[in-house]
Amino acid sequence: MKLSIGIVGLPNVGKSTLFKILTKQEVHIANYPFATIDPNVGVVSVPDERLQALAELHRSKKIIPAIVEFYDIAGLVKGAAGGEGLGNQFLSHIREVEIIIEVVRVFASEEIIHVENKIDPIKDIEAINTELILKDIETVQKRLEKLEKEAKTGDKSKIKDWETMKKTLDGLNKNILARNIGQELLDEPSVKELNLLTAKPQIYLFNGKEEEVNADLKNKISAFGGKSLDADYLIADLSKETSVSNLIRKAYEILGLISFFTTGEDETRAWAIKKGQKAPQAAGVIHSDFEKKFIRAEIISSDKLLEAGDWQRAKQKGLIRLEGKDYVMRDGDVMIVRHG
């Protein structure tokens, strides 16, 4: 599966700089709001040492990592939900991604202007979240109006959907992010299909030095996640070419993704799937026919395969297991699919 991440934040907080570090692409970085209008899109490899080791073991001709798409979305400002600063256009771009990284400025600089003329990370986070909530309110209200008419026909499913949508709107009107309103509501098909902005997991990336992120800020950030684990933070000084591989790993963790591998002389490849998926579903990621015609799979952990030295030795040692349709895939599994 493809993992897509949207990079959001106020103007001039370091979004495009982060994008450039991640993708090594040249993008337009300027010291004024709305230097970016259309989102820059970059494809980044998921860092995984096991992939390289397996490729070396089999002298693979090709190495294909799992990938992440990063969307550098133009800076949002107060009033974006109402169209301020082309906000409606920018917010629609966020709807297409699975997870949001909000870049929050904590560094001080007289050379780089702040859109509010003051460095206040909590206020900045609240400003962005408010715009996302306002856009979700607009989306839910439109759906609610349509459901109200449909519910009047007496259709029980539409009445239930109307009640669900009303609860969702009530939560948003109380300034609660959709992901904190309640998992039961989020799991309702009528809510899922709206792809609400504030239902998406979020990672806050504090752009600055470790000492610029005080304990109070770290404590307050948990409030934005509510009781869920969908709000987390990382600290990175984007003025330096800091490694941000932790960002991708954190996104993987929050979305519940794992990697499995196929390997041989032709290629070694990493595949991303949801934690808890079974062998036939994993096989279907490789090729849709494999899921339909799945019989069994030969499975070994990448660690044990590397330790054994090659597939044949692993088989001789009895390390390769034959698993059926009910096998739940584990992170790091190496798979050969037997299909009809």
What tens-digit pLDDT sequence spans the chain (340 residues)? 668 888 888 888 888 888 888 877 544 433 333 333 345 778 888 889 999 999 999 999 999 998 888 888 766 555 544 444 444 555 777 888 899 999 998 887 666 656 566 788 888 888 888 888 998 999 999 999 999 888 888 889 999 999 999 999 999 999 999 988 888 889 999 999 999 999 998 889 998 888 888 888 877 776 655 444 356 888 888 877 665 677 888 888 888 899 999 999 999 999 999 999 999 999 999 998 999 999 999 999 999 999 999 999 999 999 999 999 999 999 999 999 998 7
In a domain, residue 23? The reply is yes
Same domain, yes or no, for 250 and 124? yes
Q: What is the pLDDT of residue 255?
A: 85
What is the CATH classification number for the domain harbouring 323? 3.10.20.30
Residue pair 105/14 in contact by the 8 Å Cβ criterion = yes
What pTM does this model have? 0.76
Q: Strands 99-105 and 202-207, how do they pair?
A: parallel
Distance CA 239, CA 211 (A): 15
- Provide the pLDDT for residue 152: 86
Residue 187 shares a structural domain with residue 314: no
d(C-alpha 191, C-alpha 165), whole Å: 7
CA distance 80 to 94: 13
pLDDT of residue 33: 36
Q: Supply the pLDDT for residue 287.
A: 92
85 within domain boundaries:
yes
pLDDT for the residue numbered 80: 45
Which residues, at least 6 apart from 84, have a Cβ–Cβ distance to it below 8 Å?
77, 78
Chain-centroid distance, C-alpha 28? 24
Q: Do strands 3-8 and 99-105 pair parallel, antiparallel, or not at all (unpaired)?
A: parallel
Residue 13 lies in a domain: yes
* 33 close to 237: Cβ distance less than 8 angstroms: no
d(CA 173, CA 141) in angstroms, rounded, equals 11
Whether 15 is in a domain gets the answer: yes
- Are residues 332 and 248 both part of a single domain? no
* Same-domain check for residues 77 and 127: yes
d(CA 254, CA 123): 24
Residues 8 and 86 in one domain: yes
CB 320 within 8 A of CB 336: no
Q: Would 264 be classed as within a structural domain?
A: no
Residue 22 forms part of a structural domain: yes
Q: Write down the pLDDT at residue 308.
A: 95
Whether residue 106 sits in one domain with residue 170: yes
Instruction: Please give the backbone phi and psi of residue 193, each rounded to the nearest 5 degrees, phi first.
Output: -70, -15
Q: Say how far apart CA 86 and CA 145 lie, in whole Å.
A: 26
**Strand, helix or coil at 171?**
helix
The answer to whether residues 220 and 316 belong to one domain is: no
Are residues 324 and 292 located together in one domain of the fold? yes
| Residue 173 DSSP SS3 | helix
Residue 32 to residue 111: CA distance in whole angstroms: 11
Find the domain containing 35 and state its range. Answer: 3-255
Any domain includes 76: yes
Q: How many CA atoms lie within 13 A of 85 on its CB side?
A: 20
Torsion on CA atoms 307, 308, 311, 314, rounded to nearest 10: -130
Are both 37 and 175 inside the same structural domain? yes
- Residue 28: which CATH number? 3.40.50.300
The pLDDT assigned to 46 comes to 85
Q: What does the pLDDT read at residue 76?
A: 59
Give how many domains the chain has, as a whole number.
Answer: 2
Residue 268 lies in a domain: no
The pair of three-digit structure tokens given for residue 145, joined into one six-digit string: 């109006």
Residue 240 CA: distances (Å) to CA of 17, 203, 207: 10, 20, 11
Amino acid 12: pLDDT: 80
Q: What is the pLDDT of residue 283?
A: 95
Domain boundary among the residues 255, 290, 321 is at 255
What are the φ and ψ backbone dihedral angles of 258, each rounded to 5 degrees?
Answer: -130, 165
Q: What is the pLDDT of residue 30?
A: 36
Q: Could you tell me if 113 and 51 lie in one domain?
A: yes
Question: In this structure, what token pair is assigned to residue 213?
Answer: 């992120």
Contact by Cβ (8 Å): 164, 186: no
Q: Report the C-alpha gap between 271 and 289 in whole angstroms.
A: 16
Whether residues 227 and 320 fall in one domain: no
State whether 23 and 115 are in the same domain.
Answer: yes
